[in-house]
Structure 1
Amino acid sequence: MSAPDVTVPGAWAGGPVTDRATCVLEGNAGPMTLDGTNTWVLSAPGSGEAVVVDPGEDDPAHRAGITAVLAGRRVALVVGTHRHRDHVGGLDAFLAQHPAPVARTAGEHRVAGLGLRVLATPGHTSDSLCVLLDSGELLTGDTLLGRGSTVIATGNQQGVEQGGDLGDYLRSLELLLSLEADVVLPGHGPPLPDPRAALSRQREHRLARLEQVRCAVAAGHRDVEDVVTAVHGDVEGTVRWAAAQSVRAQLDYLAQQP
């Protein structure tokens, strides 16, 4: 693959990153989506086919942007990295325009001139997937973000069990650390040019936060909201909701330890 173009330290606007991967950035920026959802269009140079990872929300303007980047190439495979609406809410509408098989489980594919390994990486949600190209690009969905830390999504949201689990998440990070990858292409935020360093930082952050939660419990905090305040301070709104999700996952993890 070509050298990744990850030189912009500030706002992320999408665009080509390697000679096989281009990001179409959805206009849904926010506290949980960072700069917006990254839809990745993957194709070997000269191929008349492409793979689309995370077609995003049900947004006609975003679908038009993906179609423009496809530039006439046929969609040979779609991968949804997990069930959340900002990644696959527009999947059916996208398939209506670009009919293609959808990879929903782990497996290997040879398509659009690419070798792809779809990997089961539960933790953020129970159905989270990552994709490794044989050219070195590692697409991580929400398992590893371009900045910040991943929420471990627990409980029931909009009638769907999320299945987030800290133990699963730590094991998924170990799996990704075992891979030979050259650049991380995340589901939100900019690419990361040193996968091992980025994954190691996330693992160490998780373990450090787990220790903070352990200390909060030892100090007498038991309720999720009390632990959130003890560990994260007086955060509010969406940030507090996200912190509570991960704290609940950490408390569940600690309860399972001998």
Structure 2
Amino acid sequence: MTLDGTRSYVLRAPGTPSCVVVDPGPDEERHLATLAEAGPVELVLVTHRHADHTAGSARLRALTGAPVRAADPEHCHGGDPLRAGEAIEAAGVRIDVLATPGHTADSVSFVVTVPGGAGTGAPVVLTGDTVLGQGTTVIAEPDGSLRDYLASLDVLERVGDGHVGLPGHGPAIDDLGVAVRAYRAHRLERLDQVRSALAALGPTADADAVVAHVYTDVDPSVRRAARQSVVAQLAFLRDEPA
């Protein structure tokens, strides 16, 4: 489910001693100590609430004293909740907060630039689990939403076209806009498959029946994740105008 593990990112402008950590990851002492040693850590940011991104947050705050900010107040430690549209300036970089719900209701992405064009000058976009470095994203229960997710892809396409994407799992994305368009095409293809399944199975077919009909190409180890996405797809389709 986490591919080769969760990505933690350390952000700073060239020549800046302090840093910002994004997604501390699991509560793994050696990993958190490495992040703390990259500091001084000025701020910790979280892309969404899942434990593989947040479980180490409290410990990293204890190690560094840095406030932890997330969209979900439950995952803030000594910092205010993130607000969509706010611009954070820390460690010599500017971090614009984008609300990108869909994977979870509290998912956010970060557009990172170096004011004044130091370094490359081009923005990078940290996408959390909204866009991964490989594979596709689960629309996670209980509050994932396919409608929100498709809208979030539109947001990321606008800011990420031609720019590098840094995902929560998997390798860096050379052109986030290209990846987003591929994600959208995949989602719409799956929706068509679910529509066909409902036509074959009946409009009241449940998620398990649809998974068995549609996801024949998916390894059994990820069937649970596929089921979560089907639940979101069924909710999306059953909310469509007749």
User: Following TM superposition, by how much is the alpha carbon of 1:37 offset from its aligned partner in structure 2, in angstroms?
Assistant: 0.3
Among 7, 12, 15, the residue aligned to 1:46: 15
Q: Structure 1 stretches (4+) deviating beyond 6 angstroms?
A: none
Matches for 1:1-258 after TM superposition, within 5 Å: 32-68=1-37, 70=38, 73-104=39-70, 105=82, 106=84, 107-134=86-113, 135-155=122-142, 163-180=143-160, 182-221=163-202, 222-233=205-216, 235=218, 237-258=220-241
For residues 47-84 of structure 1, give each alpha carbon's deviation from its aligned partner in whole angstroms, at most 9, with x where no partner exists.
0111100000111021122234x1xx321111111010
Q: Secondary structure at the match of 1:193?
A: coil
CA distance in 1, matches of 2:218, 2:29: 35
Contact 1:224 1:248 (C-alpha < 8 Å) held by counterparts: yes
Unpaired runs of 5+ residues, structure 1, are 1-31, 156-162
Percent identical residues: 49
Q: Secondary structure at the match of 1:198?
A: helix
Amino acid across the alignment from 1:215? S
Which residue in 2 is equivalent to 1:26?
A: none
RMSD, matched Cα: 1.4
Between structures 1 and 2, the one with greater strand share: 1
Which residue in 2 is equivalent to 1:13?
A: none
Unpaired runs of 5+ residues, structure 2, are 71-81, 114-121
User: Following TM superposition, by how much is the alpha carbon of 1:245 offset from its aligned partner in structure 2, in angstroms?
Assistant: 0.3
For residues 162-208 of structure 1, give each alpha carbon's deviation from its aligned partner in whole angstroms, at most 9, with x where no partner exists.
x1000000000001111155200000000011111011100111111
Contact 1:229 1:235 (C-alpha < 8 Å) held by counterparts: no
Equivalent pairs counted in the alignment come to 217
CA distance in 2, matches of 1:117, 1:229: 41
Between structures 1 and 2, the one with greater helix share: 2
What TM-score do the two structures reach when normalised by structure 2?
A: 0.86
